[in-house]
Amino acid sequence: MELLGDIGLGLSVVLTPLNLGWCLIGVLLGTLIGVLPGLGPAATIAMLLPVTFGLPAVSSLIMLAGIYYGAQYGGSTTAILINLPGETSSVVTALDGYQMARKGRAGAALATAAIGSFFAGTIATALVAFLAPPLAAVALRFGAAEYFALMVLGLVASVALARGSVLKAVAMVVLGLLLGTVGTDVNSGEQRFTFGIPELAEGINFVALAMGMFGIAEILTNLDHEATRTPLTRVIGSLLPSRAEMRRIVGPILRGTGLGSLLGILPGGGAVLAAFAAYALEKKISRTPSEFGKGAIEGVAAPEAANNAGAQTSFIPMLTLGIPSNPVMALMVGALTIQGIQPGPQVMTEQPELFWGVIASMWIGNLFLIVLNLPLIGLWVRLLTIPYRLLYPAILVFCCVGVLSLNNLPSDVFVMILFGLVGYVLVRLDCEPAPLLLGFILGPMMEEYLRRALILARGDMTTFLTRPISLALLLLTLAIIVVLTLPAIRAKREEAFEETPA
């Protein structure tokens, strides 16, 4: 009964004209940036962080959340119609979705993606509502040592789940940790790694770094690939899958929802890993695996359900523990911090309207998406004909205006440009920037919890081993490290992600 009361509180928060409007804006923006190749939820949320200054905290989180899961819907449109995923998690959808489009079944593929996404989003949001309160209750028992161990586990898990070389992923985490130490030490008041530059006294601007790494770098990367865009499939066909196709997609949607919900909670996982795992599972258990890659509808249903479920459940560690499980959740933590809210289990007790309002908005947002997306397919098709060379100047201007509006410091624009170039170079070197952002967010928090734990223990390092929860988390971290060092596991992991785009 208490849970029903909490959900009722959330619905009362979101079912107001203001919050309904921001939810609608969020899912529409999410769909739009998912449709347009060259953007993405991380870049868009980074660009919109300055906008959240003037909004109530719950309205800003509702809008940003809608952008994230809305992008999972929109990304499938370009994957199916032009074989170019608008969002990374839609890479797998392109394998069979585009082949269905070439056979005149684009409408059925788009409808399957929408149905799978809606069902998975609805179920995953229910899981968030059921699992978040007990996890938050457990987290309230965490002390400084437990939080430090949890953050170490999160960073190691992000390395394990990042694509490509383990060594490069570790290097990105370390670089993020180092960047997070720039600024004034809160304990001693000494400036660290500022090199005498006054603008760095308060640290590197998080929004400028995020816009550069995920906005400017994305623009530069997509300009490299503009000439290779696949011609648009203009024949959509019927939007209703046949009865036989409906029977074929029920199992994949259910399995994709379950698998995506589980993997979305893991640090570094989220929608991308869920989509790949769901596709691999369906191909493995299929009686006709040879059809995959040639237009199997199961290859559209499973990953689309999984990526949306993973997107929704990735809110669980962010809302309950204050630990971001992927770059978008790291940006959400930044949005909360901008509003003066410390992410963590206390949000549920101190800001229940915010906590339950965001969860309830996911149900409303998924309903908006299923009602709006299929009728708007014609509009998305026309938008795909816009050359990217006409889009990126507007995006660049928006980035510069947004980062300048934060503190009115021109230096923030130069920081953004610098990290945009750094991000582009990292992408060309096959170094995923996501672990860097997680390291940048978690680094200062880890340092603070480490110091606090040692102060409470009077400098005794064994405090991390004598506390049961901390010890369990560190042992799990050690187990992941051992598994990563096994040659067979490392080779198989890198092979699984070798086709994932940077």
pLDDT averaged over every residue in the chain: 79
> Is it the case that residue 231 has pLDDT exceeding 60?
no
> Is it the case that residue 266 has pLDDT exceeding 80?
no
Give Cβ neighbours of residue 365 (< 8 Å, ≥ 6 apart).
Answer: 23, 26, 27, 62, 65, 66, 69, 70, 121
Render pLDDT for 312-348 as a digit per residue (tens, 0 to 9).
888 887 877 777 777 778 778 777 877 777 777 777 7
Output b/e per residue, 427-443; b: 16+ Cβ within 10 A: beeebbbbbbbbbbbbb
Listed in sequence order, the DSSP H helices in 408-433 are 410-428
Give Cβ neighbours of residue 205 (< 8 Å, ≥ 6 apart).
Answer: 403, 406, 407, 412, 415
The model's confidence at residue 5, banded by pLDDT at 50, 70 and 90, is: confident
Render pLDDT for 421-443 as a digit per residue (tens, 0 to 9).
998 898 888 887 778 877 887 78
Average pLDDT of span 302-306 = 88
Q: Which of 2-11, 30-39, 300-309 has the highest mean pLDDT?
A: 300-309
Determine the pLDDT at residue 346: 77
Q: What is the pTM of this model?
A: 0.69
The angle that helices 327-338 and 57-82 make with each other, rounded to 10 degrees, is: 160
> Is it the case that residue 4 has pLDDT exceeding 70?
yes
Rounded distance, CA 391 to CA 36, Å? 9
> Is it the case that residue 239 has pLDDT exceeding 60?
yes
Plot region of 101 (φ>0 → left; ψ -120 to 50 → alpha; else → beta):
alpha
> Is it the case that residue 394 has pLDDT exceeding 80?
no
Render pLDDT for 143-167 as a digit per residue (tens, 0 to 9).
888 888 888 887 887 776 666 677 8
Q: Rg of the chain over CA atoms, in angstroms?
A: 22
